[in-house]
Amino acid sequence: MKQHGDVILAYSIMIGLIILVGFLQSWSIALSILCFCLISAVMTMGANIQWGYAGLINFGIMGYTALGGLAAVLVSVPPVKEAWQAGGILMLLCVLIIISMVLGVRFILKKYQKSKKRNYGVAFVIIVGLIFLRLISGPAIESIEAVNPATTGFLGGMGLPILFSWIVGAFFAGGLAYIIGKIALGLRADYLAIATLLISEIVIAVIKHEDWLARGVKNVIGLNRPVPYEIDLQAKQWFINLVEKFNQGTLNLVTDTLEREQLLKQLVIEGSTVFVKLCYAGLFTIVVIILLIITQKALYSPWGRMMRAIRDNEEAADAMGKNVVKQHLLIFVLGSAVVGIAGAMMVTYDGLFTPGSYRPMRYTFLIWVMVIVGGSGNNFGSILGGFAVWFLWIEAAPASLYLINLFTSGLEETNALKIHLINSIPYFRLLVMGIALLLVMRYRPKGILPEKIKHI
Amino acid sequence: MIQKLEDLFWVDDMDFINAIVLLLNYIFVPALSYGSQLALGAIFVSLIYGILRFAYFTAGDLMSFGTMFTILFTWHFQSLGINLGILPTALLAIPFGVIITILYVLIKDKLVFSYYRMKKSPPVMLAMVSIGTMFVTQAIVRIIIGPFDRRFFDGEKFILKANEFKEMTGLNEGLTIKSTQVITLLVTIIVVSILFWFLNKTKTGKSMRAYSDNEDLALLSGIDPKRVVMITWVIAAILATIGGTLYGLDKSFKPFTYFNNMLPIFAAAIVGGIGNPFGAFLGGYVIAFSEILLTYAYRKFFVYVLPENLEPDSLLQLLSTDYKFAVSFSILVVVLLFRPSGIFKGKII
């Protein structure tokens, strides 16, 4: 138990901080911080699988997150029948063309020796395929987007419960990672970083501008939920009783019946948002725990040992007969799939899909700060990193407001500098993140909870 | 009176010339200035990669940092009533912006990067550290000047207006040349020629190239690594400030756009062969031209060129402009696949 002392200490501090927010600000804020901490933790675990286990840099986290979100839309939204009638078959035909293009290229690559002719053949197949795609998809997309553009204008999804999308999102992200891995994994570390960063931008560009798929920047709102709606809860008798029971003390202070009823109503409304967020937090915690168990088992299995061997000395592992390329691809796919789950979870929690909001700062670099700060190679560390950095990211604004007020308390309220500083509070979080990252990298390069290798 | 082109060339059918002017106006001129701005960024990214040996993710934000101070000085000069007449005041402010940016990168190197260099950390570590400085630089810029769009251009806006051109030549198509485009091109030519003269002819420049090629050999022959590193940072700061200011003059200054520009800049540096400044310079134009060539709608061009019965009715656009960014990245992926050392042979990594 002694060796887990620092883990327990770090997590108790973290939970304590979140509870403190609950007391100081509000429970609703504390719970939404907790939910996003859990989502961040899942993303960080995905990145940690790639970076911590295998030493692969993936700066494309934003792309996988967005694909997970896309999965949430495609799974949960009911299908738009008119749009399917208008252009669904043609779009399916396009999918067929893409598949046959891929098969054609594979066939040429397998059948013929490496030569100029082969390259021309591949180029020919791709160009012909693209022309056909353009010709067929153009009118189809136009007619799909013309179907009731204010509310739908896209093919819609499958109309299934949104929880399924967490698995589908993993498959989407894993699939993309397979393609990228095939292309880019041979590159050296910093090249891979740049290539994945750019590819994730392409993914976002496609999601943003292919309106027939998920409405693009017009956003999809009102996704269905795995948990009850606040309004339904407020009407349920058992919930009102529950709230009454919890707030017996406050309610008893009020003697007037009318006032008491008003207060109860207020409490029920507040209680319902907290209850919904608690449900989400519960669901997310289940995911984190399942993933943690799996990743811990994997880390200390023979496979985990092999991955560490590959990470620490690729050539030696290769000489021992381990298939480095295949293992790298596998771990790249697995890590990205975990990130995809997180993306789907996030859209589920938000209840809306906004492709315009995916920016590399928030979804790629922030996650990397989490991995590095938390401790790469250690699952507990990466989860802690997700919690701590997200907490800092949210609480940096109120904290810097407090500090600015403290330091400029000698100045008048109308002082230009003070007003300017207070207006730029949202950007202090970037400063805090940068300094935190630099300090951790300098003085604790292995993170808050460094990797521990169990020697059995 | 200027003679009409029609009389000059004895061409009855002006369609062909119209088509060429169209391409000049919408593709060549904008791509040339955008390419120059990218090229300046790509050169310093490439230099840092060659000499300090890591991917410098702060590139875009360093440009916005330099531009921000240039803008602040520009505003100061404007308030004092100093201006350059038809030229933008920002040109006068650039040297001051450069000095502050140089101080900033040198302090940053001293406080942050030198430690990892001494420890001989792997390049990945340094790239991560540069992400830390990226966050800090971005925060500084946004705290000082805010995240909004800023225009700081003054002076004469156009050298050639579309209407004037039409009147002058009697063509249907106008050619617009903004003064910022000419300034961009001129400044780029001057800066890049000085830089390549410095790298190829002076002793310091040669020692930098030697250091980039083989660090150990360079150290053996008595090259001072501290000096080489310092000069690299100074060059980076100069190029970043000038490139950023030119971009801001031509379009507008917005910190987020500058951060995003990091991506095509990296693409240009890698396409040109990272670690090879001249390749990076050309890479900037490769990226700019392909972005604009692939997303331009050629319908009007073919309307001019083809006989009337063959005129196209679609837009003839290879890719929608939404995918402008995607083009440069796709080129990058293709280059990475088939020629990882870049078109112009940089380091193989």
SS in 3 state form for A361-396?
HHHHHHHHHHHHHHCCCCHHHHHHHHHHHHHHHHHH
Residue of A nearest to B141 (CA): A427
Which residue on chain A is closest to B329 by alpha carbon? Answer: A198
Q: Estimate the crossing angle of helix A257-299 against helix A27-48, to 10 degrees.
A: 10
Per CB-CB distance under 8 Å, the chain A contacts of B133 are: 434, 438
Tell me the average pLDDT across A46-63: 90
Closest partner residue to B267 among A189, A198, A205, by Cβ? A198
Report the amino acid identity of residue B51: I
Q: Identify residue B166 by its one-letter amino acid code.
A: K
CA distances from A122 to A115, A183, A350, A438, B21 (A): 11, 15, 43, 46, 36
Distance CA(A233)–CA(A240), nearest Å, equals 8
- For residue B340, the 8-state DSSP code is T
Q: Of B251, B53, B244, whose CA–CA distance to B150 is shortest?
A: B251
pLDDT at residue A440 in the model: 92
Model pLDDT, residue A186: 77
Q: What is the DSSP string of A156-199?
A: ------TTHHHHHHHHHHHHHHHHHHHHHTTS-HHHHHHHHHHH
The listed range with the strongest mean pLDDT (A229-243, A278-292, B75-89, B272-286) is A278-292
Give the helix/strand (H/E) hosting A1: none
* Selected residue of B46, B119, B143, B291 to mutate for chain A interface (largest A Cβ count, 10 A): B143
Is B134 within 8 Å of A434 when comparing Cβ atoms?
yes
pLDDT digits (tens, 9 = 90+) for A337-378: 999 999 999 999 999 999 989 998 889 999 999 999 988 888
Dist. CA A372–CA A365, nearest whole Å: 11
Q: Which of A277-286, B269-278, B324-333 has the highest mean pLDDT?
A: A277-286
What is the tens place of the pLDDT at every residue in B89-106?
889 999 999 999 999 999
Rounded average pLDDT over A161-178: 93
**Burial class of residue A335 (count of CB atoms within 10 Å of its CB; 0-12, 13-18, 19+):** buried
In three-state secondary structure terms, B296 is coil
Position A1 pLDDT exceeds 50: no
Interfacial residues of B (vs A; Cβ cutoff 8 Å)? 54-55, 112, 115, 122-125, 127-129, 131-140, 142-143, 146-147, 259, 263, 266-267, 270, 320, 322-323, 325-326, 328-330, 332-333, 336-337, 340, 349
> In whole angstroms, what is the distance from residue B300 CA to residue B22 CA?
8
Residue B194 pLDDT greater than 90, yes or no? yes
Per residue in A267-308, pLDDT (tens digit) is 888 888 899 999 999 999 999 999 999 999 998 899 988 988
Cβ distance B333 to A199 less than 8 Å, yes or no, reads yes
Under an 8 A CB cutoff, do B333 and A437 touch?
no
Name the minimum distance, in Å, from the CA of A52 to any CA of chain B.
Answer: 13
pLDDT score of B302: 80
For residues A259-267, average pLDDT: 85
Name the residue among B293, B331, B264 with its Cα closest to residue B37. B264
Return the axis-axis angle of helices A61-76 and A27-48, rounded to nearest 10°: 120
Q: Using an 8 Å Cβ cutoff, are A390 and A36 in contact?
A: yes
Q: Are A295 and A334 in contact (CB under 8 A)?
A: no
Over 90: is that where the pLDDT of A37 sits?
yes
Place of tokens 């693209």: A130
Mean pLDDT for B249-276 is: 88
CA distance B30 to B179: 12
Range name among A257-261, B2-6, B118-122, B250-254 with the lowest pLDDT average: B2-6
Which residues of chain B lie closer than 8 angstroms to A182, CB-CB?
Answer: none
Task: Please determine, for residue B346, whether its predicted confidence score (pLDDT) is greater than 60.
Answer: no
Q: Contact at 8 Å (CB) between A426 and A350?
A: no
Name which of A360, A349, A181 is nearest A273 in CA terms: A349
- Band (B12; pLDDT cuts 50, 70, 90): low
Alpha-helical runs (H) found in B202-308:
203-213, 215-220, 225-250, 255-271, 277-295, 299-305
Mutate to test the interface with A, among B72, B128, B256, B327 (most CBs of A within 10 A): B128
What does the pLDDT read at residue A79? 86
The CA-atom distances, in angstroms, between A373 and each of A55, A79, B23 are: 16, 43, 51
Task: Compute the distance between CA of residue B284 and CA of residue B272 in angstroms, rounded to an integer.
Answer: 8
Across B61-121, where does the E strand assignment appear?
A: none
- Least Cα distance to B331 among A304, A107, A199 occurs for A199
Residue tagged 């399924």 (tokens): A164
pLDDT score at B198: 93
Q: What pLDDT is attached to residue A453?
A: 66
| Phi/psi at A149 (5° precision) | -60, -25
Interface test with A, best of B68, B72, B336, B349 (most A CBs within 10 A): B336
Residue type, B346: G
Running DSSP on this structure, what letter comes out for residue A53? I
Residue B312: its chain A contacts at CB < 8 A? none
Tell me, what's the pLDDT at A2?
A: 53
- Rounded Cα gap, residues A233 and A272, in angstroms: 6
Distance from CA of A103 to the nearest CA of B (A): 19
Written in H, E and C, the secondary structure of B170-182 is CCCCCCCEEHHHH
pLDDT at B4 over 70: no
**CB-CB under 8 Å, B266 with A201:** no
Q: What is the dihedral of CA A110, A116, A122, A128, to 10 degrees?
A: -150
Higher pLDDT, A150 or B115: B115
Residue B1 has pLDDT above 60, yes or no: no
- State the nearest Cα–Cα gap between A334 and chain B, in angstroms: 22
Report which of A75, A65, A76, A353 is spatially closest to residue A215, judged by C-alpha positions.
Answer: A353
Please tell me which residue, B245 or B14, carries the higher pLDDT value: B245
A196 interaction partners in chain B (CB closer than 8 Å): none
What percent of chain A stands above pLDDT 90? Answer: 33
Do A209 and B320 count as a contact with CB atoms less than 8 A apart? yes
Q: For residue A3, name the pLDDT band (cuts at 50, 70, 90).
A: low
Name the residue facing A201 among B131, B136, B325 (closest C-beta): B325
Burial of A127 (0-12, 13-18, 19+ CB in 10 A): exposed
CB spacing of B333 vs A195 below 8 angstroms: yes
For the record, the structure tokens of A327 come out as: 């293992």
Q: What is the pLDDT of residue B75?
A: 92
Gap between the Cα atoms of B295 and B313, Å rounded: 17
The answer on pLDDT for B348 being more than 70 is no
Mean pLDDT of chain B: 86
Measure A209 CA to nearest chain B CA, in Å.
7
pLDDT at B5: 53
Structure-block tokens of residue B195: 């830089």
Is the CB of B322 less than 8 angstroms away from the CB of A208?
yes
* DSSP 8-state secondary structure symbol assigned to residue A80: -
Q: What does the alpha-carbon distance between residue A373 and residue A381 come to, in Å, rounded to a whole number?
A: 8
User: Which of A65-69, A411-415, B95-99, B121-125 comes out lowest in average pLDDT?
Assistant: A411-415
For the CA atoms of chain A, what is the radius of gyration? 25
Query: What are the angstrom distances between the C-alpha of B129 and each of A300, A442, B52, B56, B124?
Result: 30, 9, 13, 9, 9
| Residue of chain B with shortest Cα separation from A55 | B124
Which amino acid would we find at residue A391?
Answer: F
**Which of B62, B121, B135 would best serve as a mutation to test chain A binding (most A beta carbons within 10 A)?**
B135
Structure token digits, residue A299 = 């880390």
- What 3-state DSSP class applies to A455? coil
3-class DSSP assignment, residue A273: helix
Residue B347 confidence (pLDDT) above 70:
no
| B2 band by pLDDT with thresholds 50, 70 and 90 | very low
pLDDT value of position B18: 82
Average pLDDT over residues B58-80: 94
Name the residue among B142, B263, B270 with its Cβ closest to that of A427: B142
More confident residue, B231 or A248: B231
What is the C-alpha to C-alpha distance for residues A118 and A378, in angstroms, rounded to an integer? 46
Spatial contact of B134 and B266, defined as CB atoms under 8 Å apart: no
Tell me what the pLDDT averaged over chain A comes to: 87
Please answer yes or no on whether B336 and A198 come within 8 Å at the CB atom: no
Which residue numbers of A have CB closer than 8 Å to B's CBs?
A: 57, 183-184, 187-191, 193-195, 197-199, 201-202, 205-206, 208-209, 361, 365, 368-369, 372, 421, 423-424, 427-431, 433-435, 437-438, 441-442, 445
Instruction: Give B2's Cβ-side CA count (13 Å radius).
Output: 10
Pairing label, strands B158-160, B177-178 = antiparallel
| Percent of chain B whose pLDDT exceeds 90 | 42
pLDDT given at position A455: 55
Most A CBs within 10 Å: which of B53, B324, B329, B335, as the mutation test of the A interface? B329
User: What amino acid is encoded at A354 in this protein?
Assistant: T
Chain B residues closer than 8 Å to A197 by CB: 263, 266
Contact state of A190 with B54 under an 8 Å Cβ cutoff:
yes
Q: Are A148 and B298 in contact (CB under 8 A)?
A: no
Are B134 and A365 inside 8 Å of each other by CB?
yes
Q: Which of B124, B129, B135 has the CB atom closest to A189's CB atom? A: B124
Rounded Cα–Cα distance for residues A216 and A154 (Å): 9
Name the token pair of B342. 């870049």
DSSP letter at A351 equals S
Q: Cα-Cα-Cα-Cα dihedral of A334, A340, A342, A344, to 10°?
A: -150
Q: Is A253 exposed, middle or buried (0-12, 13-18, 19+ CB in 10 A)?
A: exposed
In angstroms, the Cα distances linking A249 to A240, A245, A246 are 15, 9, 8
ipTM: 0.86
For testing the chain B interface, which of A62, A137, A438 should be mutated: the one with the most B CBs within 10 Å? A438
Burial of A306 (0-12, 13-18, 19+ CB in 10 A): middle
pLDDT tens track for A328-342 = 999 999 999 999 999
A-B interface: how many C-beta pairs under 8 angstroms? Answer: 123
Res A240: pLDDT: 85
* Alpha-carbon gap, residue B311 to A309, rounded angstroms: 64
Specify the pLDDT at position B349: 35
Give the relative orientation of helices B123-145 and B255-271 as an angle to the nearest 10 degrees: 150
Q: Is the pLDDT of residue B65 over 90?
A: yes
